[in-house]
Amino acid sequence: MTTTEPQPTETEAEHPALAIDGLEMSYIVRGTPRAVLRGVSFEVRAGEAYGLVGESGCGKSTTAYAALRYLPGNGRIDAGRVESGGQELTAMSGRELREFRAQRASMVFQDPVQAVNPVLKIGKQVAEAFEVMGQSKSEAHASALAALKRVRIAAPESVMERYPHQLSGGMLQRVVIAMALACDPTLLVLDEPTTGLDATVEAEVLDLVRDLRSELNSAILLIAHNLGVIRTMCDRVGVMYAGRIVEEGTVDEVFDNPSHPYTKGLLNSIPRRGLRKTDRELFAIPGSAPPIGASLPTCTYIDRCPIATDICRTDVPPIVDRSDGHWTRCHHADRIGDVPEPQEVTVEYNVGNEQVIGVNGVSKTFRQRGHDVPALVSVDLGFAEGETLGLVGESGSGKSTLAKTMLGVHAADEGGSITLRGRKMAGKATARVEESVRAISMVFQNPDSALNRAWTVRRILHRSVVKLTGVRGAAADKRVEEIAEAMQLSPRHLDMRPRQLSGGLKQRVAIARAFAGDPEVVVCDEPTSALDVSVQAAILNLLAGLQNDERTSYLFISHDIGVVRYLADRIAVMYLGRIMEIGSTATMFNGTNHPYTEALLSAVPSVDGIAEDRIPLVGAIPSPANPPSGCVFHTRCHRAIEGLCEVTEPQMVELSAGHSIKCHLTVEQLSEPVHIDPAAVLAVAIDDPLA
C-alpha cells in the first residue's frame, strides 16, 4: 500500500488550472462550526474536464464554490490550499480575488433563469461581461455578438434584443455560458449546469460544452449528480463522499472498474443497460450520508459499507493505486468483489386483464386571456390492475395536466370520460363519490412541498386514513402503523416532522399517504427526480414491491427514460397534449419508434459510455395555444415529409399488438438510420421562441 497522492504536477510545464490541496472547510450553523470538507485534494490540469460526483450533502458544491473562493457568510476555510495557475487563492486580498474572478475564472450555475437579470436585455448583459474587462461600449457590443455566435446561437442580433423570459431554458443557459466565457477563463466551473433542464435540452447544452472544449483552453470542473453526464463529458472523475474524495481516475476506469464500495454502490443503484424490474432489484445503499459536522475520524463511508472490518474503525484508509492515475481510499480495495450484488427478483409481476381506470377521449382546454389553450387533446389510456404505465415527454407536453385531470383537480372538457371499473366518474374531486376519491391518489415530485412540515408523520398519515377510509380511533392508529411498516418506516419516524427526515424517508411518508386510502391507481409525478440515485433505488424497489402486494396500478411520470424503462410495463409518449406513441416497454426499445420518441431516447446521457448518435430536437416545444398544423411534431421532426406532415394530422396506427404510433411514416421508413451532424444542429436558428 502506498500513501502517495496522485502524481504531482512538476511533470507539466505549466501550473494546473486548479489545484486543491488538503482543503478543510466548515459552516457555522447556529453558533457551532460543522465540518463539510475533510481534506479534499485534486487538481484540474489545463484543458482537462474533471467531474465531481456524489450524493447530496457530500460537499460537491462547496468544493466548486471554494475553487473560486466564493464562500457563504457562514463558511470558513480551516486548512488547505486552493491554487489556480500557480496563484494561491486562499492568500489573495479582496481586490486580487475580484480580479481573478473577472479575468481568469468563471462559473455557470444550475438555474440559468436566476443567473440573469430579468429586466435587462440579453445583449446588454452579455456586453456587460466584456465591459468589466475594460472594453468600450461599442467594443463590448461587438464582443457580445461574437460570444453569442460562439455558443452557436444563429441569430445573435435578434437574441440580443430579447429579454431573458423570452428565451427557453436551454437558450438561456447558452447565454450564461457565453457570459462565462467572456474572459476566456483558464478555469470554468459548471455546477449542475443541466439539472433543471429537460433531457433533450440537457443534451443540447452538453453538446455545446463538449464542442466548445476543443476551441477553448479552459479547464472544466463539472459538478453533477447524474453519472451519465459525467461519463459523457469528463476526462477524469472524483467520487466524493462526506467531504472527501474516495476514488479518482479516468471516467472509463472509475465507471467500468469501480474500486471503492461507495462508487460501486452508486453504480449499482441506477438502472443500467436496459435493466427491468423483472430482472433484479436496484441496489440501495443502506443508511444515509452523514450530516455535515459529523465526527468521522477514520473512513467516512464506514457506516454504510458492506465490506467494512475492524481496521476501518481504527485506521484512516490509505490511498491505494489501482492503475495509472486511478486510486481509491479504502482498506479493502482488493476485496471490492465482495460487495454483494443486488438481489435477483423471484416474484412474478402479473398485470391483470380487467381495466381499472379508463381515460377515454379526454381533452382539457384552459382559457387564457380570452384564448383557448388545449392542454390535452383526446387522450385515450387504460390501466389494468397491477400495471405501471410510464408517461414521458418534455416539460410542457401535458403530463402533469393529465395527472391532475385524472385526480379531479380540474374537470376535463365535455365529451371525454374517466371511468373507474367501467363507471364514469365526476370531473372535479369535490363532486366525486367517496369511492372515486379513494381510488386515485398521488405521489408528488417534491416531498418537501407535499408534506405539511408543521405536522408529525403520524398526523399526516392519520388524517388521510380517517378522511379517506372513515376508520376512526384505535383502528385508525393501527392502520397508520401498518402502512408505515409497509413503507419500511420505523415507529420512531412516526413522531418526527418531515424536516427531521431525509429526502428518501420523506418520499416514503408521501407514498404511505398515497396508499392510506387503499387506492386503485397511484399517480407518481416524478417521484424520484428530487432524490439521489441511491435513494431513488430504494424508492423504486419499494414502489415495485408495493405494486406486487397491493395490485395497485401506477401512472408513472418521469423524464428519466432509464427509470421508466425499469419500472413500467407500458410506456406512453406525450407531445403537446397528445399521445404520440404507446406500447409495451419491450416494443418501445426494439428500434422502431415515433420520431419524437427516437429523439427523446437518443438524448439520454449514458453512464455506460456507449456513444450514440444524438437526434437533436430543434428549438423549443411549441405553445399549445397555437399548435402547428397537421402533425403537431412536424416543426421539430427529423423525418418530416414535406407536403404531408404539415398538412394532414396522422392517425394512431398500430404497428404491432399494443404498440401504436401517431405518424405518417411506415415501419421501413422509421427504421432507416438517420445521421445528423450535431454541430450543424447546434447552429440552428431559434425559429420562433416567442410562440
Partner 1 sequence: MTDDMMPPEVLGSAELVGDGTATQFEVTKTKQPGEGKKQIRKEQLRVLYTSPGFIFGVIIVGFWVLAAVLPGLLTTVGEKEFVEVGPRVKPGSDAWLGTDKNGWDVYARIIYGARPILIVAPVATAMAVIVGTMLGLIMGYYRGWVDEVLSRVIEAILSIPIILMAILVVFTFGRSTPVIIGTIAVLFVPAITRTIRSAAISESDLDYVMSAKMRGESGLFIVSREILPNVIGLVVVELTVRLGYAVFTYATLAFLGFVGSNITDADWGIDVSQNYEQIVRDIWWPSIFPAIAIASMVIGVNLIADSIDKALKS
Torsional sign, CA 488, 490, 491, 493 = negative
The label of the residue with cell 386571456 reads: 369
| Residue 620 found at the interface with partner 1 (CB under 8 A) | no
Site for partner 1 in 512-571 (CB under 8 A): 513, 517, 529-530, 532
Which range of residues in 58-66, 140-148, 340-348, 479-487 is near partner 1 by CB under 8 A? 58-66
Q: Which of 1, 10, 11, 31 binds partner 1 (CB under 8 A)?
A: 31
Which one of residues 2, 32, 346, 353 is an interface residue with partner 1 (CB under 8 A)? Answer: 32
Candidate residues 280, 497, 551, 638; the one interacting with partner 1 per rule CB under 8 A:
497
C-alpha–C-alpha distance, residues 586 and 584, integer Å: 5
> Judged by CB under 8 A, does residue 345 bind partner 1?
no
Is 342 a binding residue for partner 1 by CB under 8 A? The answer is: no
Which range of residues in 251-259, 265-273, 373-381, 461-469 is near partner 1 by CB under 8 A? 461-469
CA distance 241 to 73: 24
Question: Which value, in Å, is the radius of gyration of the alpha carbons in the chain?
Answer: 26
**Which parts of 60-190 fold into alpha helices (H)?**
60-67, 94-103, 112-115, 122-131, 137-150, 156-160, 169-180
C-alpha grid cell, residue 53: 460526483
All three cell numbers of 195, joined, read 439539472
Measured in whole angstroms, the distance separating CA 178 from the mean position of its chain's CA atoms is 23
User: Is residue 368 a contact point for partner 1 (CB under 8 A)?
Assistant: no
CB of 302 to partner 1, least distance (A): 15
Closest C-alpha to 89, from 187, 221, 219, 222: 187
Angle at CA 589, nearest 5°, toward 586 and 595? 135
Which residues in 145-204 contact partner 1 (CB under 8 A)? 191-192, 195-196
Asked if 503 touches partner 1 (CB under 8 A), the answer is yes
Q: Is 107 in the site for partner 1 (CB under 8 A)?
A: no
Question: Is there a contact between 300 and 246 (Cβ–Cβ < 8 Å)?
Answer: yes
User: Looking at 103-111, 589-597, 613-621, 660-668, which segment touches partner 1 (CB under 8 A)?
Assistant: 103-111
450 counts as binding partner 1 under rule CB under 8 A: yes
CB 27 → partner 1: shortest distance, Å?
5
118 binds partner 1 (CB under 8 A): no
By beta-carbon proximity to partner 1, the closer residue of 46 and 468 is 468
Q: Segment near partner 1 (CB under 8 A), from 40-48, 54-62, 142-150, 683-691?
A: 54-62
**Out of 313, 335, 421, 467, which residue is the one contacting partner 1 (CB under 8 A)?**
467
Task: Take residue 203 and report the three cell numbers written for it.
Answer: 443534451
Q: How far is the CB of 576 from partner 1 (least distance, A)?
A: 24
Note whether 244 binds partner 1 by CB under 8 A.
no
Residue located via cell numbers 404498440 = 659
* Measured distance CA(37)–CA(58) in Å, rounded: 8
- Give the separation between CA 340 and CA 327, rounded to whole angstroms: 21
Q: What is the 3-state secondary structure (H, E, C) of 293-317?
A: CCCCCCCCCHHHCCCCCHHHHHCCC
17, 23, 27, 143: which one binds partner 1 (CB under 8 A): 27
Residue 29 sits in the site that holds partner 1 (CB under 8 A): yes
Eight-state DSSP code of residue 635: G
Residue 683 interacts with partner 1 (CB under 8 A): yes or no: no
Contacts of 466 (CB under 8 A, 6+ apart): 472, 476
Burial of residue 240 (CB within 10 Å: 0-12, 13-18, 19+) is buried
Q: Rounded to the nearest whole angstrom, what is the least distance from the CB of residue 50 to partner 1 in the complex?
A: 17
With CB under 8 A as the contact rule, which of the stretches 39-47, 227-235, 429-437, 683-691 interacts with partner 1? 429-437
- The nearer residue to partner 1, 70 or 349, going by C-beta atoms, is 70
Site string for partner 1, 279-318 (x = CB under 8 A): ---------xxxxx-x------------------------
- Residue from the set 7, 74, 350, 368 that interacts with partner 1 by CB under 8 A: 74
Per CB under 8 A, does 394 bind partner 1?
A: no
Amino acid at 495: D
With CA atoms as reference, report the closest residue to 374 among 619, 596, 623. Answer: 623
Of the candidates 584, 50, 559, 668, the residue with the CA atom closest to the CA atom of residue 276: 584
For CA atoms 345, 537, 562, 402, the dihedral sign is positive
Q: Counting contacts by CB under 8 A, is residue 437 touching partner 1?
A: yes
Of 58 and 330, CB closest to partner 1:
58
Q: Which three cell numbers stand for residue 647?
A: 398538412
Which residue in the set 452, 629, 656, 669 belongs to the binding site for partner 1 (CB under 8 A)? 452
Give min distance, CB of 29 to partner 1, in A.
6
Stretch that binds partner 1, among 257-265, 326-334, 496-504, 641-649 (CB under 8 A): 496-504
Window 211 to 240, contacts with partner 1 (CB under 8 A) = 223, 225
Is 365 a residue that touches partner 1 (CB under 8 A)? Answer: no
- Which H helix or E strand runs over 326? strand 326-329
Tell me the β-bridge partners of 50: 221, 236
For partner 1, give the closer residue by CB, 79 or 409. 409
Give me the DSSP letters along 543-596.
HHHHHHHH--EEEEE-S-HHHHHHH-SEEEEEETTEEEEEEEHHHHTSS---HH
Identified binder of partner 1 from the candidate list 6, 16, 57, 616, rule CB under 8 A: 57
Among 72, 297, 352, 361, binds partner 1 (CB under 8 A): 72
**Candidate list 3, 10, 11, 30; residue touching partner 1; CB under 8 A:** 30
| Bridge partner list, 79 | 24
Output the smallest distance, CB 197 to partner 1, in A: 11
Residues near partner 1 (CB under 8 A) are: 27-32, 56-62, 65, 70-75, 109-111, 191-192, 195-196, 223, 225, 288-292, 294, 407-409, 429-430, 437, 441-442, 444, 446, 448-455, 464, 467-468, 492, 496-500, 502-503, 513, 517, 529-530, 532
